[in-house]
Amino acid sequence: MKKLLAVMTLSLAASVASAEDLRVGTSADYPPWESVDAAGEVVGFDRDIGNEICKRIETNCTWQNQAYDGLLPGLQVGKFNLVISGVSINEERAQKVDFSVAYADAPNAMVVAAGSLVAEAKSAKDLQDKLAKVAIGVQTGTTHEQVVRAHFPDADVRVYDRPDQIADDVVAGRIDAGLMERSALEPLVKDRGADKLVYAGPLLTSADFPEFGKGQGVAIAKGNTELTAKVDKAVAEMLADGTIKTISEKWFGYDISKK
């Protein structure tokens, strides 16, 4: 009987622990935000942020990697408890999921082939004028896609699964420009070389195009107020004590923490 009770107790404890585990969804194709290393592990800025959040809310987190455009739908149907993947907070998304307070605020940039006259653009308006009626590449399901569709109405919008595909098509001349976060562009420009790929115009933020949102936050299923409060508290503490600043400097070389 004692043995049976012991087994039941262990089983109950395991069940409780399992109930507290959180599944974190990410799209590990956007270095240095998140990528997959040689060992097949998800690594990057968001992985470190997520691990620290999970540590502070005292729960075990398991990471699941999938295509970016399936992350928020997956969250809505219960596939994930959290999504941490450089997700920008904007009104359209906030109607479908809840967000933590923003932990980062990354600027965005347009990239073009070296020698393109678009590289001489001085403002967001200048970019809009120079990129009218051309092909612009964006990652599917991102705020970048929303921005191009809303503010470059005559452009031929080409959607891609991964940022590197956009960079390669710009270099090959299959598209005229690509829009993504500056931090994601940096390793692509460095790898392909400044003689092939260059930035065009200024850094772009929500001040230029409101679809860029209010910074990057942790996405949480609608109505889970207890989990949202815990994550909010952890993020606020991490911003206050400089943890996010330290993690961003590790991965980007500069501070992108939300001010």
SS3 for 100? coil
Q: Which residue has the higher pLDDT, 106 or 79?
A: 79
Residue 20: predicted pLDDT? 63
Query: Could you give the CA distance from residue 16 to residue 28 in angstroms, rounded to a whole number?
Result: 30
- Let me know if domain 108-212 sits in CATH 3.40.50.720: no
Residue 8: predicted pLDDT? 38
The 98-99 sheet, strands edge to edge: 61-65, 22-26, 82-83, 219-220, 98-99
Contact 210, 202 (CB under 8 A): no
How confident is residue 13, by pLDDT bands cut at 50, 70 and 90?
very low
pLDDT higher than threshold 60 for residue 27? yes
Please state which of the four CATH numbers 3.40.50.2300, 3.40.190.10, 1.10.3720.10, 2.40.37.10 is assigned to the domain occupying 2-105+215-252. 3.40.190.10
Residue 70: predicted pLDDT? 96
Residue 259: predicted pLDDT? 82
**Do 2-105+215-252 and 108-212 agree at the fold level?**
yes
pLDDT digits (tens, 9 = 90+) for 119-156: 999 999 999 999 999 999 999 999 999 999 999 999 99
State the pTM of this model. 0.74
Residue extents of the structural domains in the chain: 2-105+215-252, 108-212
The phi and psi torsions of 211 (rounded to 5 degrees) equal -65, -20
Query: Could you give the CA distance from residue 131 to residue 119 in angstroms, rounded to a whole number?
Result: 11
Residue 2: predicted pLDDT? 39
Residue 136: predicted pLDDT? 98
Can you read off the two tokens belonging to residue 143? Answer: 């705020």
Residue 3: predicted pLDDT? 42
- What does 179-212 look like in DSSP terms, one character per residue? EEEHHHHHHHHHHH-TTTEEEEEEEE-TTT-GGG
Q: What is the mean pLDDT of residues 205-233?
A: 95
Average pLDDT, the chain: 91
Query: Could you give the CA distance from residue 122 to residue 227 in angstroms, rounded to a whole number?
Result: 43
Residue 206: predicted pLDDT? 87
